[in-house]
Amino acid sequence: MNLPRIALLSLLLSLGPVLAGCDKTPPAEPPLAGSSIGGPFTLIDQQGKTVRASDFAGKYRIVYFGYTYCPDVCPVDMQNIGGGMAKLRPTDPDLARKVAVIFISLDPERDTPDVVGKFVSAFGPDIIGLTGSAKAIDAAAKEYKVFYKKAQPEGASGYLINHSNAAYLMGPQGEPIALLSADESPQAVADELRKWVQ
């Protein structure tokens, strides 16, 4: 189709915002820049070793709070996070090596290091599972603005943990960058990591 030069110019100008959306460069400022999310923590990993937030200095980190007995949300989100990392390893191995995935339990009563270790190993080979005392977990949750509360469903023998579910992408100095779409798909997680990890 041949368009007059003026009509073609007008069409291109009208598509400007759409075409700009195709640009792969990240926005000038990450969505969580300047927020007070994140901070120090001291917890126990799946090998029973003490782990501090400062141990991840220099690495990007995906931080997700949940619990291993979660019947639905946590396993799906962790599957998408682990799947996103699995998509990156063959295509962007240098980028994948810059990212640490950290699962922090909100259920210290049941989530021992061994239980957390088995849970995270189902979603990827390098995922770090953390647990600890109720006091240490509460302190970490407060740093990340995570809501959680034990709930006893009527007639149930066990309990649930109602909690906010956010997958935080934190930068190499522990600075908040963005919330990942862990509830969507592995591809969405991989795409967002490609966008933000430098």
Q: pTM of whole model > 0.75?
A: yes
Beta bridge partners of 131: 44
- State the pLDDT at residue 17: 44
- State the pLDDT at residue 157: 79
Element spanning 11, H or E = helix 5-14
> In the sheet where 99-105 sits, what is the strand order?
50-52, 42-45, 128-131, 99-105, 60-66, 167-170, 176-180
pLDDT higher at 20 or 122? 122
Residue ranges covered by each domain of the chain = 30-196
Q: Could you report how far apart the first and last alpha carbons of the chain are, in Å?
A: 42
Q: Into which CATH architecture does domain 30-196 fall?
A: 3-Layer(aba) Sandwich (3.40)
Indicate the pairing of strand 128-131 with strand 99-105. Answer: parallel
The span from the CA of 195 to the CA of 177, in Å, is: 11
pLDDT higher at 22 or 68? 68
pLDDT band per the 50, 70, 90 thresholds, residue 170: very high
The span from the CA of 86 to the CA of 96, in Å, is: 9
Binding region for Cu cation = 70, 74, 163
Mean local confidence (pLDDT), 152-159: 82
pLDDT band per the 50, 70, 90 thresholds, residue 29: confident
SS3 106: coil
Q: Check: CB of residue 54 under 8 Å from CB of residue 173.
A: no
How much is the mean pLDDT over the chain?
Answer: 88
Tens digits of residue pLDDT in 63-117:
999 999 999 999 999 999 999 999 999 999 999 999 999 999 999 999 999 999 9
Q: Encoding tokens for residue 140?
A: 């970490």
Binding region = 70, 74, 163
pLDDT band per the 50, 70, 90 thresholds, residue 24: low
Least confident among 78-87, 119-128, 146-155? 146-155
Task: Name the phi and psi angles at 60, rounded to 5.
Answer: -70, 150
